[in-house]
């Protein structure tokens, strides 16, 4: 199995390391044509406006939309979630609209207000404890009817899925746990079998 990590900006190397710990080949994706060689895609945290500018320079938006349209899974963390959301506020900005959620950027505060927390996620194997790292994290303010909330923190959704799109407001790659990455890899694996 080969899973791509969008490697334009942000903490893509840590996602690649987490995928390797899951026994999956990680491919750093820097050009749209490289999406053809992977079966799933992670859009990492970073700075969403910077990511958008870099994506625009390489014309990534239509390539990712096509990737999604082909049924391949996508996982967005923090800034990646912002790029995948249907609506973005504080401020409003372009997004791909691939998951029916509304998000508020930097809603947990600035860099110095970053924090770690623990919570419970309901994944395929049942409830599992998660360590969560929030860095300038967005908040999911609206969840569409077909979106499944997989984990919450302080009563708010922090991990959600709609079909083959998975999003997290936190950074699972900054912990030693591979729980969330394994869940995504299982989703990619099931998609391969279905194809």
The token pair at 89 is: 């506020």
Among residues 15, 39, 68, 171, which one is catalytic?
Answer: 171
Read off the DSSP letter of residue 166: E
Edge-to-edge strand list for the sheet holding 126-134? 25-29, 2-6, 40-43, 74-77, 165-168, 156-162, 148-153, 115-123, 126-134
Does the active-site annotation cover 68?
A: no
Among residues 78, 104, 181, 185, which one is catalytic?
Answer: 78
Report the largest interatomic distance among the alpha carbons of the chain, rounded to a whole angstrom.
Answer: 45
Among residues 39, 104, 173, 185, which one is catalytic?
Answer: 173
Per-residue exposure over 25-35, b if at least 16 CB sit within 10 Å of its own CB, e if not: ebbebeebebb
Sign of CA dihedral 7, 11, 17, 21: negative
Does the active-site annotation cover 152?
A: no
| Nearest to 150, CA basis, from 133, 134, 170, 136 | 170
Residues 6+ apart with CB under 8 A from 32: 58, 59, 60, 62, 63, 64
Does the active-site annotation cover 15?
A: no
Contact between 157 and 149 under an 8 Å Cβ cutoff? The reply is: yes
Q: Give the residue numbers annotated as catalytic, written as ranges.
A: 78, 171, 173
């Amino acid at each position: 199995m080969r899973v791509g990590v969008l490697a334009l900006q942000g903490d893509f190397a840590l996602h690649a390391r987490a995928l390797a710990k899951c026994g999956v080949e990680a491919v750093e994706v820097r050009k749209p044509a490289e999406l053809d060689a992977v079966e799933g895609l992670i859009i990492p945290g970073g700075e969403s406006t910077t990511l958008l500018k870099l994506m625009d320079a390489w014309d990534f938006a239509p390539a990712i939309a096509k990737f999604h349209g082909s049924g391949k899974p996508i996982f967005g963390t923090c800034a990646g979630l912002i790029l995948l959301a249907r609506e973005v506020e504080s401020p409003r900005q372009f997004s791909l609209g691939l998951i029916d959620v509304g998000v508020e950027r930097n809603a947990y505060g600035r860099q110095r207000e970053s924090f770690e927390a623990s919570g419970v996620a309901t994944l395929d194997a049942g409830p599992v404890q998660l360590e969560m790292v929030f860095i300038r994290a967005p908040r999911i303010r609206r969840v569409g009817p077909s979106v499944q909330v997989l984990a919450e923190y302080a009563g708010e959704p922090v991990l959600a899925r709609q079909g083959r799109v998975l999003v997290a407001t936190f950074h699972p790659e900054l912990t030693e746990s591979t729980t969330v990455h394994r869940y995504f890899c299982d989703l990619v694996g099931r998609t391969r079998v279905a194809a």
